Amino acid sequence: MHSEIHKSHRAGWLRAAVLGANDGLVSTASLIIGVAAAGSSHDVILLSGVAGLVAGSMSMAAGEYVSVSSQADTEAADLKMEQESLNNDIEGETQELAQIYQARGLEPKLANQVAQALMEHDALGAHARDDIGITDVNRANPLQAAFYSACTFLIGAGVPLIAIWFIELDRVILTTTLVSILFLGILGGLAAYLGGACIAKGAMRVVSWGCLAMLATAIVGSVFDVMV
């Protein structure tokens, strides 16, 4: 009985979700810290955070849709080209598939039998999978990527905004930093868990880059405050 529970089918939406949540949290927290370090008022800090949330979520959705659509267009062009080859030279395409299986370790006779059987069952699917490398697991889905990125960006960006909504101005930077580190660790660990990777390593990776981003904007904000 097949007992393994694989996680690669989650790669498409998990990548977009993690990217969106991480970008939302890090960019908004960094923006808040940078604006606060520049000596801005509490209202200005909140306004900057909300503006970053709205602009960032739309930017993430548009960026994911455009980039993944480009990937989908490339895949469609490759499949069209492969279908034309199948229509014009079915025997040659069968031999090409057999050679792929031979390179993977099958005996020539068995490779030819497997190639012939797969070609009869689903010629384009066999070539898409074994010749081009396109599978249902990694197939590009622009709308899915855009939706997950935008929604998770909103969730991530909402964390530091909610955290500073009711606190005093002099505690904005410290509160934002601590809350962001906590949720970045949770995000990194959860993403690693869903992907079947090391939870501690995933959490540390996300926290480290998030801290660097917040530190950089804090320095910029402080320098701007001094210059003004």
**pLDDT tens-digit readout, 76-112:** 888 898 888 888 988 888 888 889 888 888 888 998 8
Per-residue model confidence as pLDDT tens digits over 119-155: 888 888 888 888 777 776 566 678 877 888 888 899 9
Lowest mean pLDDT among 9-13, 66-70, 112-116: 9-13
pLDDT over 90 at 50, yes or no: yes
Q: Please tell me the predicted confidence (pLDDT) of residue 7.
A: 46
Q: What is the mean pLDDT of residues 188-211?
A: 85
Identify the residue with better confidence: 183 or 14.
183
Taking the model in full, what pTM does it have? 0.70
Alpha-carbon span 96 to 175, nearest angstrom:
61
Token readout for 205 is: 């990776």
pLDDT higher than threshold 90 for residue 28: yes
Size (the chain), residues: 228
Residues ≥6 apart with Cβ < 8 Å to 42: 168, 169, 172
pLDDT digits (tens, 9 = 90+) for 159-194: 999 988 888 888 999 999 999 999 999 888 887 887
Task: Tell me if 15 sits within 8 A of 146, measured CB to CB.
Answer: no
HEC profile for the chain? CCCCCCCHHHHHHHHHHHHHHHHHHHHHHHHHHHHHHCCCCHHHHHHHHHHHHHHHHHHHHHHHHHHHHHHHHHHHHHHHHHHHHHHHCHHHHHHHHHHHHHHCCCCHHHHHHHHHHHHHHHHHHHHHHHHHCCCCCCCCCHHHHHHHHHHHHHHHHHHHHHHHHCCCHHHHHHHHHHHHHHHHHHHHHHHHHHHCCCHHHHHHHHHHHHHHHHHHHHHHHHHHHHHC
Q: Which amino acid is at 158?
A: G
CA distance 151 to 16: 10
| Model pLDDT, residue 228 | 42
The mean pLDDT value of the chain amounts to 83
